[in-house]
């Protein structure tokens, strides 16, 4: 089992742990801001697919997604990232969530952007996501956390 921990050097406001057991990856994210946690969660998941540190941000994709709660919002955000990067043939290495807003009293709206480069299987590999499950996002008193399980194909 691989266990990886990362703490952001800029603010130390975000950290994540990756436990990889075969094709199942469990992420635990903690932070002070939902936007940072969603951005870092996307980075952690994409980093399990390829080396995100080697990606040049020459291309970008803008996102606006909506969901009924924070856990669903995280799932929709990650699912939209995968679909759009595959359709547009881009490998992303940087993710920025500009805002997460509560709208209509009961739903959430996320706006963000992903940066990457044209996908090249010889450089980025061919690992695919089979399923994203067990998502639990919590946000209380300036602290937020997320648990997510990703199964690779």
Domain boundaries, the chain: 2-152
Taking CA 8 as the corner, what is the angle to CA 5 and CA 14, rounded to the nearest 5 degrees? 80
CA–chain centroid gap for 99, Å, is: 14
CA atoms within 13 A on the CB side of 71: 10
pLDDT at 11: 39
Backbone angles phi, psi at 52, to 5 degrees: -70, -20
pLDDT at 16: 64
Distances (CA, A) of 76 to 5, 17, 38, 134, 150: 25, 21, 11, 13, 14
User: What pTM, to 2 d.p., does this model score?
Assistant: 0.85
**Which of the residues in the chain have pLDDT under 50?**
1-13
Assign domain 2-152 to a CATH class.
Answer: alpha beta
pLDDT tens-digit readout, 44-75: 888 888 888 889 889 999 999 999 999 999 99
């Amino acid at each position: 089992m691989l266990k990886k921990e990362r703490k952001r050097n800029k603010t130390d406001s975000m950290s994540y742990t990756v436990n990889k057991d075969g094709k199942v990856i469990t992420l635990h994210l903690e932070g002070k801001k939902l936007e940072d946690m969603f951005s870092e969660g996307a980075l952690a998941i994409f980093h399990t697919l390829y080396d995100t540190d080697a990606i040049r941000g020459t291309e970008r994709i803008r996102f606006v997604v909506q969901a009924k709660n924070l856990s669903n919002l995280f799932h929709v955000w990650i699912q939209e990232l995968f679909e759009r990067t595959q359709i547009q043939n881009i490998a992303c290495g940087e993710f920025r969530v500009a805002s997460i807003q509560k709208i209509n009293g009961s739903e959430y709206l996320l706006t963000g952007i992903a940066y990457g480069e044209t996908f090249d299987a010889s450089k980025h590999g061919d690992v695919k996501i089979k399923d994203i499950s067990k998502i639990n996002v919590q946000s209380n008193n300036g602290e937020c956390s997320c648990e997510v399980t990703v199964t690779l194909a």
